[in-house]
Structure 1
Amino acid sequence: MDGTEPLLEVANLRVSFPTRNGVTEAVRGVSFTLGREKLGIVGESGSGKSVTGRSILRLVPAPGVVTADRLAFRGEDLLAASDRRLRAIRGRRIAMVMQDPKFSLNPVMTVGRQIAEAYRVHSGAGAAEAKRRALAMLEAVRIRDPERVYGRYPHEVSGGMGQRIMIAMMLIPEPDLLIADEPTSALDVTVQMQVLAILDDLCGQRGMGMVFVSHDLNLVASFCDRILIMYAGRVVESCRASELRNATHPYTRGLLDSLPRLDDPRAELPVLTRDPAWTKEDGAREGGA
């Protein structure tokens, strides 16, 4: 792979679910490319951002159906990949950090054993080497006294530490791409900044690409290189993070204007009225490279 070839190519991605009232499309024609950079996907609850992240790894549960004109990782077609090939890609080449660690960590295994197991599965290393790498990874995510934390169970660690442990587990195989699905939404502001600093450092050190899913527009704008704004399953605007304040789509402007003002906390926030044109084929601005 040369320096110009994208890590991830997504073209006309669609995810649909059958319901009693017919087929519902949760993701409708999403397109973007990703290099070794941080891409933020922002939208309100139900906009399809998390489903977009899961569909990249084909983790959308049945009866959901994922289709795309192209869904490729380093040139390899993920939609055509066999289950065996996907198992080799998941974790080792593309990792995903879920929103809440208490639903992702095994409650009957120590956190250290879980991290070490992730390394052994993907590398074939022995138990001693896996433990050594797991302790080094705990230190890399800035956990004090890794030896002590290694032997703890998930219920014995805080939410912030649990999220760091999840990051350590996902990054220990040294993937090329990390998908982070609202990894800081359950954390207080101080811990949020600590987790983001860890992710930023590790991305820079390892040259990873990242898809960062969030509903916090300010957070994404300060952390990511590019931003996709999603509404009702579609990308309505794509821009550089530094250009977000110049966004032109009414929905993006509405999100920006709805942020509380510190200089005037009593200012009335605007009400965002849904425009049917935003969900039509010719009404959405598809995100590109």
Structure 2
Amino acid sequence: MTNDAPLLNVENLWVRFSSRTGVSEAVRGISFTLGRERLGIVGESGSGKSMTGRAVLRLIRPPGMIEADRLEIHGEDVLGASEKRMRRLRGGRVSMIMQDPKFSLNPVMTVGQQLVEALRAHERVSKRDARKRALATLDEVAIRDPERVLNLYPHEVSGGMGQRIMIAMMLLPNPEILIADEPTSALDVSVQLQVLDIMDKLVRDRGMGLMFISHDLNLVAKFCDRIAIMYAGRIVETCKASELRNARHPYTLGLLNSVPDLEHPRERLEVLKRDPAWREAPSVSARQ
């Protein structure tokens, strides 16, 4: 694979759930690629953002079903891979930071035990060497006194530190793709900026691809290189972050107009009026 080739290639991805009352479609025929860049996936709750991230790693459990014309990580077919192979891909080549990551930590294991276990699950390395790698990675994500933090339990760390510990855990096996699902939603503004700075530095220094899932359009516009807007399980618009103001889809325009603007305050924010036709309308690009 060349450096210019996509790290992730998704074509016509569907996620469906069967029940007694019929079939529900959480993700509806979306297509996108991810290179060594920061791609923002934006949409309101229930739009299919998190399902997309989980589907990439084949983490949808029955009765959920994943279908795609193409779903490739580094050119490797995800849907055709064995479960044993997927366990190697997850964490090894692609890592995912779940929502509220601090609560994904095991409460009865120290931070150090969990970091060492995460690395040794993917690499043949001694506990001593794994601990050294863990210390170096904690330092990389701007945790002061990493030796002390390794001996703490999850309830002894703050929300921001817990977030950085989870980022460190996901980065230990040196993945090329990082999927971050609402990684800053539970943090205050100052800690949020610290976490974003860390992730930005990691993408630049390691040449990673980052899929940044969020409902915060302003945040994604400032942080990401490209943006994909999701509505009702579909990507309705894609654009460069710098060209977001040239958006053409009514849903994207509605999101933009409903965000407060401190420089040009309005007496009332626009109420987003949905149109059922948006569900089936073809997606657009702000670059056209």
Residue 266 of structure 1 and its aligned partner are, at CA, apart by 6.0
AA paired with 1:199? M
Residue 265 of structure 1 and its aligned partner are, at CA, apart by 5.2
Q: Residue 237 of structure 1: SS of its match in structure 2?
A: strand
The range that moved more, 254-263 or 196-205, is: 254-263
The equivalent of 1:212 in structure 2 is 212
The equivalent of 1:16 in structure 2 is 16
Residue 182 of structure 1 and its aligned partner are, at CA, apart by 0.5
Q: Contact conserved, 1:277 with 1:283, CA < 8 A, in 2?
A: no
Residues 191-244 of structure 1 show CA distances to partners (whole Å, capped at 9, x for unaligned) of 011000000101111111010000000111111110000000000000000000
Residues 113-144 of structure 1 show CA distances to partners (whole Å, capped at 9, x for unaligned) of 11111111211110110111101111110011
Separation in 2, partners of 1:250, 1:192: 30
Count of paired positions: 287
Q: Contact conserved, 1:9 with 1:33, CA < 8 A, in 2?
A: yes
Q: Contact conserved, 1:261 with 1:267, CA < 8 A, in 2?
A: no
Distance 1:286 1:47, change over 3 A: farther
Q: Does 1:284 align with 2:283?
A: yes
Residue 190 of structure 1 and its aligned partner are, at CA, apart by 0.6
Residues 258-287 of structure 1 show CA distances to partners (whole Å, capped at 9, x for unaligned) of 01122465621111111111111x443389
Q: Contact conserved, 2:247 with 2:286, CA < 8 A, in 1?
A: no
The range that moved more, 263-272 or 116-125, is: 263-272
Q: Contact conserved, 1:30 with 1:286, CA < 8 A, in 2?
A: no
The equivalent of 1:126 in structure 2 is 126
Matches within 5 A, 1:259-278: 259-263=259-263, 267-278=267-278
Separation in 2, partners of 1:255, 1:262: 16
AA paired with 1:58? R
The equivalent of 1:201 in structure 2 is 201
Q: Residue 59 of structure 1: SS of its match in structure 2?
A: coil
AA paired with 2:34? L
Matches within 5 A, 1:121-270: 121-263=121-263, 267-270=267-270
The range that moved more, 81-90 or 119-128, is: 119-128
Q: Residue 122 of structure 1: SS of its match in structure 2?
A: coil
Q: Residue 60 of structure 1: SS of its match in structure 2?
A: coil
Q: Contact conserved, 2:248 with 2:286, CA < 8 A, in 1?
A: no
The range that moved more, 245-254 or 115-124, is: 115-124
What runs of 5+ residues in structure 2 fail to find an aligned partner? none
Q: Contact conserved, 2:13 with 2:66, CA < 8 A, in 1?
A: yes
The equivalent of 1:66 in structure 2 is 66
Separation in 2, partners of 1:208, 1:261: 32
Q: Contact conserved, 1:31 with 1:286, CA < 8 A, in 2?
A: no
The equivalent of 2:112 in structure 1 is 112
Q: Contact conserved, 1:32 with 1:287, CA < 8 A, in 2?
A: no
Q: Contact conserved, 2:19 with 2:63, CA < 8 A, in 1?
A: no
The range that moved more, 95-104 or 196-205, is: 95-104
The equivalent of 2:81 in structure 1 is 81
What runs of 5+ residues in structure 1 fail to find an aligned partner? none
Q: Residue 123 of structure 1: SS of its match in structure 2?
A: coil
Separation in 1, partners of 2:24, 2:122: 36
Q: Contact conserved, 1:30 with 1:287, CA < 8 A, in 2?
A: no
Give % identity: 66
Distance 1:30 1:157, change over 3 A: same
Instruction: Provide the TM-score with structure 1 as the length reference.
Output: 0.96
Separation in 2, partners of 1:207, 1:14: 29
Q: Residue 117 of structure 2: SS of its match in structure 1?
A: helix
Distance 1:79 1:287, change over 3 A: farther
The range that moved more, 9-18 or 114-123, is: 114-123
AA paired with 1:219? L
The range that moved more, 266-275 or 187-196, is: 266-275
Q: Contact conserved, 1:15 with 1:65, CA < 8 A, in 2?
A: yes
